[in-house]
Amino acid sequence: MAEESRLVTLCRQHADIAEADIEVIRKNAECLDSIAELMGADIFIDCGTRDPDVAVVVAQARPTSVKSLYSGSVVGKFARRSKEPAVIRTLEVGMSTMDMSGVTQEDKSVRQSVAPLKNSAGDVIGALIAEKDVTESVRAEKKLSVLTQTTGQLIERGAVVTSGDNSLPYHVTDGILIFSRSGVCTYANPVAETIYRNLGYIEPLEGLSFSNMTFHGVKFEEILTRKQVVLTDMEIGNYIFHIKYTYVKNKNENFTGVVMLINDVTEVKNKEKELVLKTVAISEIHHRVKNNLQTIASLLKLQWRRVDDPLAKAAFNESISQVLSIAATHEILAEECKDDVDIMTMLEKIKSNTIKHGLLAKKGITINLKGDTFFCDSDMATSIALVVNEITQNCLKYAFVGRDSGTIDIEICNGAMYSNISVIDDGIGFKFDSEATNKLGLQIVKRIVTEKLKGNFSTESSQTGTKVLFDFPLNSRSAETM
């Protein structure tokens, strides 16, 4: 009972296994002693942990008919990919792994055969492991047998690889493996050897069977039938691979073998994940900045309602509109998840904010937005937003004095070298040589245009209205090309 209790505890502590699956593992563990006697081998049950490179031993049985390879219990200890690749492979791919080298928790070399334990839904919940001793004579006998078999096959198809033969690339970035018609690996290039070594394979790849080297349940017979199998974005441990199996024939249409190509795309995929995470983080930052700016605008609005001085109210109105114009840029950046702002969309938001927050000097004043659009970076977009907002507010304050209605046209022109934006009203005109030209708002606008946008600022005014135009070099992209 104590052993059963420890099995349950280990499963709960190290792995996300359902209670029903733990019961399946427990029932299998009751049979381990009989299996150990029948096979004359040490028998274990391992379960995967939250670390893809590590499994935990949850049950153990030692034979009495032969000497056990272990001096004590290893229940609760870990099986790592670097020492027991067969265990991790079976847990990952759900396929049996037969007669592969491994190193025990007591640093002894063994041969492992591993079968998956599955629940009623067919999901792998553990691995049943049989371990036997490794002797040099057994290993040499096996290698001699494999060498005899594979050499004959290589000679038959004229594909023996020697150190002086460049028929197979040694310096490509893909791992290359060749399997004979009987499913035995006859060639592995250095890249493939490195990949499998990183996955924990200890022994040389030549001579291993296809069933011990493939991933995710692909069978040799399936490749012979389908002629080609392509697997993309396969996660094996901490690695991501693109794998391609190809049926190969010679010029006489006779089968010569199966080629397996392995492309390690782990670094590329990890970079993609980092970019996605950074994009989400940047979007969230813009969203929070937008919310904070709108909160500031709301606080200013509260103060605006508490004052009676018309000059103070006008100052609050200016600050509110400036804050909201910057918030409009961050709102677009948060929605688009990239540092590209559609100017037309941004100015539409500024126009809506002006109307929504009651900043129109006269209810009968109409604001029209028309023309081209283009995309630019957030820094340029913020500068343009501030300039257009300030000019529009000046129109509302000065252009329609003594009038109940009027029109303001904001027009965007996207040019080949320079783009420009004009703000035109049909008001009473404005004397730019008057004291008003020295106001802080207009000074800021001119400095933003000349210093930040590297453009020009010009004005025209008469009794029939005022036109303010500013341009800037086009480091933007047309919206049609996006």
Answer yes or no: is pLDDT of 46 > 70.
Answer: yes
Specify whether 260 is located in the same domain as 281. no
pLDDT at res. 226 = 84
Is residue 411 domain-shared with residue 474, that is, in the same domain?
A: yes
Q: 108 and 16 in one domain?
A: yes
Residues 248-257 have a mean pLDDT of: 74
Residue 137 has a pLDDT of 37
Q: Bigger pLDDT: 147 or 219?
A: 219
Average pLDDT over residues 8-23: 87
Instruction: Kindly state whether residues 258 and 366 are assigned to the same domain.
Output: no
pLDDT band at 432 (very low <50, low <70, confident <90, very high): low
* Three-state SS letters, the chain: CHHHHHHHHHHHHHCCCCHHHHHHHHHHHCCHHHHHHHHCCEEEEEEECCCCCEEEEEEEECCCCCCCCCCCCCCCCEEECCCCHHHHHHHHHCCCEEEEEEECCCCCEEEEEEEEEECCCCCEEEEEEEEEECCHHHHHHHHHHHHHHHHHHHHHHCCCCCCCCCCCCCCCCCEEEEECCCCEEEEECHHHHHHHHHCCCCCCCCCCEHHHCCCCCCCHHHHHHHCEEEEEEEEECCEEEEEEEEEEECCCCCEEEEEEEEEECHHHHHHHHHHHHHHHHHHHHHHHHHHHHHHHHHHHHHHHHHCCCHHHHHHHHHHHHHHHHHHHHHHHHHHHCCCCEEHHHHHHHHHHHHHHCCCCCCCEEEEEEEECCEEECHHHHHHHHHHHHHHHHHHHHHHCCCCCEEEEEEEEECCCCEEEEEEEECCCCCCCCCHHHHCHHHHHHHHHHHHHCCCEEEEEEECCEEEEEEEEECCCEEHHHC
Please identify, among 133, 153, 176, the residue that sits at the C-terminal boundary of a domain. Answer: 133
Q: Where does the pLDDT of residue 220 fall: very low under 50, low under 70, confident under 90, or very high at 90 and above?
A: confident
Whether 3 shows a pLDDT value over 80: the answer reads no
* pLDDT > 70: percent of the chain: 81
Please tell me whether residues 218 and 172 are part of one structural domain: yes
pLDDT band at 217 (very low <50, low <70, confident <90, very high): confident
CATH number of domain containing 39: 3.30.450.280
The reply to whether 461 and 319 lie within a common domain is: yes
* pLDDT higher than threshold 60 for residue 158: no
Domain boundary among 78, 102, 133: 133
Q: How confident is the model at residue 337 (pLDDT cuts 50, 70, 90)?
A: low
User: What's 168's domain CATH number?
Assistant: 3.30.450.20
Shared domain check, 288 and 212? no
pLDDT at 78: 93
Query: Is the same domain home to 85 and 199?
Result: no
Report the pLDDT value the prediction gives residue 434, as an integer from 0 to 100: 54
Of the listed ranges 177-181, 265-269, 273-277, 461-465, the least confidently predicted one is 273-277
User: Span 324-352, mean pLDDT?
Assistant: 77
| pLDDT band per the 50, 70, 90 thresholds, residue 239 | confident
Let me know whether 102 and 235 are in one domain: no
Q: How confident is the model at residue 166 (pLDDT cuts 50, 70, 90)?
A: very low
Query: Which of residues 382 and 317 earns the better pLDDT score?
Result: 382
Of 93-97, 347-351, 434-438, the one with minimum mean pLDDT is 434-438
* pLDDT tops 90 at residue 470: yes
Q: Are residues 341 and 250 in the same domain?
A: no
Q: Which of 32-46, 118-132, 171-185 is most confident?
A: 118-132
- Domain co-membership, 239 together with 91: no
pLDDT at 359: 53
pLDDT tens string 355-409: 766 555 556 888 899 998 888 887 888 888 888 888 887 888 788 887 878 899 9
What's residue 413's pLDDT? 92
* Domain with 116 in it: 2-133
Mean pLDDT of the chain, nearest integer: 79
Number of structural domains the chain divides into: 3
Q: Which of 216, 234, 264 delimits the end of a domain?
A: 264
More confident residue, 44 or 376: 44
Question: How confident is the model over 336-357, as a mean pLDDT?
Answer: 77
Average pLDDT over residues 441-470: 88
| 362 and 418 part of one domain | yes
476 vs 193, more confident: 193
Percent of the chain scoring above 90 in pLDDT: 16
